[in-house]
Amino acid sequence: MKLENPRVALTRKLPSPVEKRLADLFDAVMREDDAPLSREALLECARDCDVLAATLSDRLDEQFFDAVGDRLKLIANFGAGVDHIDVAAANERGITVTNTPSVLAEDAADMAMALILAVPRRLVEGVRALENGDFHGWSPTWMLGHRVRGKKLGIIGMGRVGEAIARRANAIGLSVHYHNRNAINPHIEKELSASYWDDLDAMLAEMDIVSVNCPLTESTFHLLSKARLERLQSHAYVVNISRGEIVDECALADLIEAGRIAGAGLDVYERGSPNAKLAAAPNVVLLPHMASATVESRIEMGERVIINIKMFADGHKPPDRVILGLDEGRSPAT
Ligand code: DGY
């Protein structure tokens, strides 16, 4: 099916070069402001278009697809993670879903590494001490963190972001371990010097730092449950740049408070923003979901959105179609 000059509705403001190109190519309907749309506003904008350029702030569930009518043909998601979209419900109604994998993996991996370094080395605590006037000169015993080199890093979800983290981890002397639904290609495993753990529980008990990089699906919700978090050694750190719901955040906060886990570096939260206990903990570094927030990533994400729409409108299969079941084990990067 070809679409002649498709109407493309944006649900958020996108970087200007992306919006300009969208306007050149399609009948694009932009947002004046950048606030997430209410359910009603989202439906109103989606009913009247062929393509919805959505983002993770749009909840596109079965009820949405029931109510959206039959004009909408493509959800071109600006982002890799599609946990906010009921892809099966979309496909059942003949709506294709695409995302933007790959382009943000390197930037997301940089942010994971920043957290992997920042938490054991107490980077943010140090900055705060200086800002609060608590620095009274160098001391042999003050602000001691832990060495990163030589420690074991356990990556949960060895997709594009996981692999990019593993490359960086090798460079700083971490030993790389991973849990995935399946072991990765042996050549890549060898190149990354990575050891596969089929048994997540067994891996957790041995790691010094755990990095969460799997997508959020029904089977990864609370993958790091209270029971699993309790398996970690008391000197271990948890880093999560993927989706908050993969970690039982209350249990994590309680275990950190009780000294049963050494600290955490988080970019994502179960309920959108961090719980109060985590926000108050000195050994926790919290970021506002910014792992893919570089100008370069966001423009390349926009370019993927445009390529997917163009291919679809020209009657071809868009390159980044989300195929159910296929993407599990790949990271949403985020
Ligand atoms: C994604 O692509 O899903 C990220 O979380 C957005 O930064």
Q: Name the CATH architecture for the domain at 7-103+294-313.
A: 3-Layer(aba) Sandwich (3.40)
Average pLDDT over residues 6-15: 98
Alpha carbons within 13 A on the beta-carbon side of 86: 13
Does the C-beta of 101 come closer than 6 Å to ligand 1? no
CA 25 to chain centre: 29
* Cβ 45 under 6 angstroms from ligand 1: no
Which ligand 1 atom is nearest residue 293's CA? 7
d(CA 242, CA 268): 7
- The residue whose two tokens read 């948890």 is 238
* Chain segment 289-313, per-residue pLDDT in tens: 999 999 999 999 999 999 999 999 9
Q: How much is the pLDDT for 330?
A: 39
Residues 239-253: what's their mean pLDDT?
A: 98
Percent of the chain scoring above 70 in pLDDT: 97
pLDDT digits (tens, 9 = 90+) for 102-132: 999 999 999 999 999 999 999 999 999 999 9
The arithmetic mean of pLDDT across residues 274-279, rounded, is: 95
Distance from the alpha carbon of residue 137 to the mean position of ligand 1, in angstroms: 41
Q: Is 191 left (phi over 0), alpha (psi -120 to 50) or beta?
A: alpha
Q: If you measure from the C-alpha of residue 263 to the centroid of ligand 1, how many angstroms do you get, rounded to a whole number? A: 24
Cα of 79 to ligand 1 centre, how many Å?
A: 5
φ, ψ of residue 118 to 5 degrees: the values are -70, -35
- pLDDT tier for residue 331 given thresholds of 50, 70 and 90: very low
Would you state the pLDDT for residue 272? 87
Task: Output the average pLDDT for the chain.
Answer: 96
Domain 105-286 adopts which CATH fold?
Answer: Rossmann fold (3.40.50)
CA distance 293 to 267: 11
Q: Is 111 in the pocket of ligand 1 (CB under 6 A)?
A: no
Exposure class string for 271-286: b at 16+ Cβ within 10 A, else e: eeebbeebeebebbbb
Provide mean pLDDT across the span 219-228: 98
Q: What value, to the nearest 5°, has the Cα angle with vertex 74 and ends 23 and 72?
A: 95
Q: How far apart are CA 98 and CA 16, in angstroms?
A: 21
CA distance 8 to 50: 6
> Looking at ligand 1, which atom is closest to the CA of residue 301?
2
pLDDT tens-digit map of 163-215: 999 999 999 999 999 999 999 999 999 999 999 999 999 999 999 999 999 99
Distance from the first to the final alpha carbon of the chain: 32
Q: Which long-range contacts does 316-325 make (Cβ < 8 Å, 24+ apart)?
A: 318/74, 318/76, 318/96, 318/98, 319/98, 320/98, 320/99, 320/100, 320/101, 321/96, 321/97, 321/98, 322/77, 322/82, 322/85, 322/87, 322/97, 322/98, 322/99, 324/87, 324/88, 324/91
pLDDT for 325 equals 75
Closest approach atom of ligand 1 to CA 291? 7
**How far from 71 is each of 26, 116, 313, CA to CA, in Å?**
16, 46, 13
For atom 3 of ligand 1, the residue with the nearest CA is 81
pLDDT in tens, 145-164: 999 999 999 999 999 999 99
Q: Backbone phi, then psi, for 131, in 5-degree steps? A: -65, -35
CA distance 185 to 246: 25
How far is residue 276's CA from residue 7's CA, in Å, rounded to a whole number?
43
Evaluate: CB of 156 within 6 angstroms of ligand 1.
Answer: no
Cβ atoms of 159 and 217 closer than 8 Å? no
Which atom from ligand 1 is nearest to the alpha carbon of 99? Answer: 2
Output the pLDDT for position 49.
97
Position in ligand 1 atom list of the atom nearest CA 268:
5
Is residue 250 a contact partner of residue 275, using CB atoms and an 8 Å limit?
yes
Q: Which residue has the tokens 């079941």?
A: 325
Determine if ligand 1 sits within 6 Å of the CB of residue 161. Answer: no
Topology agreement, domain 7-103+294-313 and domain 105-286:
yes
* % the chain with pLDDT above 90: 96
Domain ranges of the chain: 7-103+294-313, 105-286
**27 backbone dihedrals φ, ψ, rounded to 5°:** -85, 80
